[in-house]
Amino acid sequence: MEIVVLVEPLEDGRVRARVGDPLNLCAEGATAAEATRQLGTLLDSFIAEGRGLTTLQVANGKVVTAQAAALPADNLYESDWVYRELQEAIAECRRQDETQ
């Protein structure tokens, strides 16, 4: 999932990063990168509290499907080569333990 973030300079030289509805989160930092990182931390807390996002598909005035949107890390591991290699290494260690 990608979320559009507004990054804007403040009068005191700091930077604000924010997202609107339905999240309504805002963070500040010395740089755009720092403000965006802070915003990411807020979003992590938002998700850790059990909140989430979902979508509804509507056609001709009727809800067709309701589907939970993937959290930022959901299913990313399936295409992550580091995760695959780690899983292979774990499996190999388990095989070696079983033979000893």
Do 50 and 77 have their domain in common?
Answer: no
Do 76 and 30 have their domain in common?
Answer: no
What is the number of structural domains in the chain? 2
Mean pLDDT of 39-46: 90
- Asked if pLDDT for residue 8 goes beyond 60, the answer is yes
Mean per-residue pLDDT over the chain, rounded: 83
Mean pLDDT of 78-92: 81
Do 92 and 62 have their domain in common?
Answer: no
φ and ψ at residue 25, rounded to 5 degrees: -115, 150
- Asked if pLDDT for residue 81 goes beyond 60, the answer is yes
Domain residue limits at 79: 70-100
Alpha-carbon gap, residue 81 to 95, rounded angstroms = 21
Do 4 and 47 have their domain in common?
Answer: yes
Give the pLDDT of residue 36.
94
Do 76 and 40 have their domain in common?
Answer: no
Evaluate if pTM is beyond 0.85.
Answer: no
Do 16 and 64 have their domain in common?
Answer: yes
